[in-house]
Structure 1
């Protein structure tokens, strides 16, 4: 039942997430292509330069939490049950999305986004394993 529910919701969820990444949350087209390749430092600089904790939570935790559902992709694609395969596939996809943000100037290519999003997938994979272990009992 849970897996069927997931299979139904993951496609619209992915489309919603892509909308947010390119058009939502007050996005606008940047004048220049922007890339941030300093891992972790750009997130720390963002936190230091942000007055609102709400903004910090939405951006930093959002970049993790919003990607947790992709840790369950093994339910649809059995070859993605293996953590290495899942992370390799996801990182390839998120790098393409970040590159599209860069080339369309509808976002910034940020290494931190790749790291935080991938961490979310990893957390989702751990949760998926926990659920599967409980269902097997």
Structure 2
């Protein structure tokens, strides 16, 4: 039952996520292409900055939580039940999305986003594996 629901929801969810990454949440086109390639330190600077705690939690945890569902892709594509192919495929896709944000100037290419998003997929994969084991999927 969970797999059927997942298969119905993941495509619209992915489209919603792409919308949010390019057009939603007050996005606008930057005047120049922006890139942040300093891993981890840019997130630490963001957390230490003058931002509200709710904004920090929303952005940092959001970058993790919003990508947990992609850890379940093995339910649709059996080859992605294994961690290595899942991570390779996801990182390839998120690199393309981040590059599109950079080239369209509708976002910032941020290495930390890639790291946090990938961590979310990993957490999803762990959760999916636990569900599979528990319910013998």
TM-score with structure 1 length normalisation?
Answer: 0.98
| Cα distance in structure 2, aligned partners of 1:51 and 1:31 | 23
What is residue 87 of structure 2 aligned with on the other side?
Answer: 87
Deviation at 1:50, TM superposition (A): 3.4
Q: Which runs of 5+ in 1 are unaligned?
A: none
What is residue 123 of structure 2 aligned with on the other side?
Answer: 123
Q: Is the 8 A contact 1:71 1:121 kept in 2?
A: yes
Deviation at 1:49, TM superposition (A): 1.4
| Cα distance in structure 2, aligned partners of 1:50 and 1:85 | 39
Aligned length: 137
What is residue 41 of structure 1 aligned with on the other side?
Answer: 41
Deviation by residue 1:51-85 (Cα, 9 ceiling, x = unmatched): 31110011000000000000000000001111000
| Cα distance in structure 2, aligned partners of 1:9 and 1:123 | 19
Deviation at 1:136, TM superposition (A): 1.7
Q: Show structure 1 runs of 4+ deviating over 6 A.
A: none
| Cα distance in structure 2, aligned partners of 1:106 and 1:131 | 37
| Cα distance in structure 1, aligned partners of 2:105 and 2:44 | 23
Q: Is the 8 A contact 1:50 1:56 kept in 2?
A: no
Q: Which runs of 5+ in 2 are unaligned?
A: none
| Cα distance in structure 2, aligned partners of 1:11 and 1:115 | 22
Aligned alpha-carbon RMSD (Å): 1.0
Secondary structure of the equivalent of 1:27?
coil
TM-score with structure 2 length normalisation?
Answer: 0.98
